[in-house]
Structure formats: C-alpha cells, structure tokens
Amino acid sequence: MLIASWNVNSIKVRLPQLLNWLAQAKPDVVCLQELKCETELFPFDALGEAGYEAAAYGQKAYNGVAILSRLPIENPVEGFAGEEGQARLIEATINGITVLSCYAPNGQAVGSDKFAYKLRFFEALRRHLDGLGNSGLPLVLAGDFNVAPDERDVWDAAKCAGDIGFHPDEHKALKRLTDWGLVDSFRLHDARPGQFSWWDYRGFGFGKDRGMRIDQLWLSKALERRCKSARIDVEPRKLEKPSDHTPVLCEIE
C-alpha cells in the first residue's frame, strides 16, 4: 500500500496539480493538509472521478485536513481535543491501518502565543495517541508537523538553530510525541542530509535549495518492518504556482 502526504496549500488552487499527480504516482492513500476550504466545498466529486474516496475536515480560509483512498475509508473521525477550534486532524481506518492526517501549527514566532499553542498541540496529540492504544496498533501519522527532526533536515543547521521549525522546544515536543512508539519512515530508508519537503516562497528558497523536511510519515512499531520504501517526490514543487510543500511517500507491505 503506497501512502503519501502532501500539504497542498489550498485545495482549490492545487486541485489540477493534485489530480495529475494522483494519475501519475498512483498512491493508494493520500493525507492532505492546509485545504483552506470548508468541508462542503471540498472537491469530493472530482476526486471520486479520479478513483478516490475522501474524508475531509475543513475550515474557511485556513487549516483543513483530508484523507483520500482507493480503498474503503472506515470510521472517519474529525478533530481531537487539542485543536482548540482549528481543523488540524482527521483519522480513519483503511485496510486495517489507522491513518491520521495532521497539520501541526506553524508557531509563528518563538515565545509568541501561537508558539505556545504549537507546543500544547503536540502534547495533546500525544495524549490522543495514548487514547488509541500502543505502538502495537498498525498506525500511520502523516502530515505537516512544522518541525524538522534533526540537522540533516534543514539547509543550514547553524543558521536555522533556534528558529521556528528548528527550535529545541519543538524538538522536545516532537520527541515526546514520537516516543509513543513512532518511527520516521523516510529515515528507515534514506540517511542522507539535504532531503527536503518544504521550501519558502520567499527568497527563491527552492531555487537555492534552502529547504526543510517538515513533512513526515510516522509509523507505529507494528508497521516498521512492513515499510519497504520511502521517498520525497520533488517534481510537483517544480511546477508553475506550486505548493511550497511537495509530497512524501512510503510503501507498506
């Protein structure tokens, strides 16, 4: 089962690119983030014509998450206790696997109220996982976590140190979350530095390859040995008017 995650940064703007990518990459399951549309405006019909069921949890102009699947989507659940009124998590069962699509807060600025919310969000998400069970549960936590896990995942660790996305408090929060029993699917197969999923629109970030790997597919221990490959597909970021993120993928046996 090929699982992908992509922060599309507006489903309305990016729908043609998404449909083309689905036809080419043929993922079985796709977790989307930053829909920037209300649930009733989500393009269920267009995606259905492309062969995908969808469960979406939207919000006007901001946030929003969805799960697409070529397999039946069972028991979709919108939201969790830590969102504080923002559409940031949707989960469902697909082929016996619990799949969560997550859009973590950006945090805006270190020390701000939004940064404090980001840290609360990670702690609440850990509590949510605790409520689901333990890492013996087949589970994929996919999404834009707005944190680069380590120095390999940023374009310049010295220059990024202490900034949003690469701050010690964020690293502690991410570790606390993943200590539930999650493994980074990408790092199971690729140890190279400089493999990014996001590049800032500002300052020609993509052209200069000044990026960060802030999008991840985290797997429970139950799925670790079943993960046969993982990669980042940079091609969609090369398109005209792209999302600032690009898809990340892993294959589960």
What percent of the chain has a predicted confidence (pLDDT) above 70?
A: 100
Q: What is the pLDDT of residue 82?
A: 86
Q: What is the pLDDT of residue 106?
A: 98
Where along the chain do its domains lie?
2-252
**Please, which residues have CB within 8 angstroms of residue 97's CB and are 6 or more apart in sequence?**
1, 138, 139, 140, 223, 252
CATH code for residues 2-252: 3.60.10.10
Task: Confirm if 128 and 98 have CB atoms less than 8 A apart.
Answer: no
Average pLDDT over the chain, rounded to whole? Answer: 98
| CA–CA gap between residue 10 and residue 120 (Å, rounded) | 25
Q: How confident is the model at residue 229 (pLDDT cuts 50, 70, 90)?
A: very high
pLDDT in tens, 32-49: 999 999 999 999 999 999
What's the start-to-end Cα distance of the chain, in Å? 6
Q: What is the pLDDT of residue 203?
A: 87
Would you call 148 exposed, middle or buried from its count of C-beta atoms within 10 A (0-12, 13-18, 19+)? Answer: buried
Q: How confident is the model at residue 220 (pLDDT cuts 50, 70, 90)?
A: very high
Segment 228-234 mean pLDDT? 99
| CA–CA gap between residue 118 and residue 107 (Å, rounded) | 5
Q: How confident is the model at residue 130 (pLDDT cuts 50, 70, 90)?
A: very high
pLDDT in tens, 165-207: 999 999 999 999 999 999 999 999 999 999 999 999 998 899 9
Phi, psi (deg, nearest 5) at residue 104:
-75, 150
Q: Give yes or no for residue 125 having a pLDDT over 90.
A: yes
Q: Give yes or no for residue 101 having a pLDDT over 90.
A: yes
Q: Model pTM?
A: 0.97
Task: Confirm if 102 and 142 have CB atoms less than 8 A apart.
Answer: yes
| CA–CA gap between residue 116 and residue 113 (Å, rounded) | 5
Q: What is the pLDDT of residue 231?
A: 99
Catalytic residues: 103, 144
DSSP letters, 162-189, are TSTTS-HHHHHHHHHHHTTTEEEHHHHH
| CA–CA gap between residue 153 and residue 157 (Å, rounded) | 8
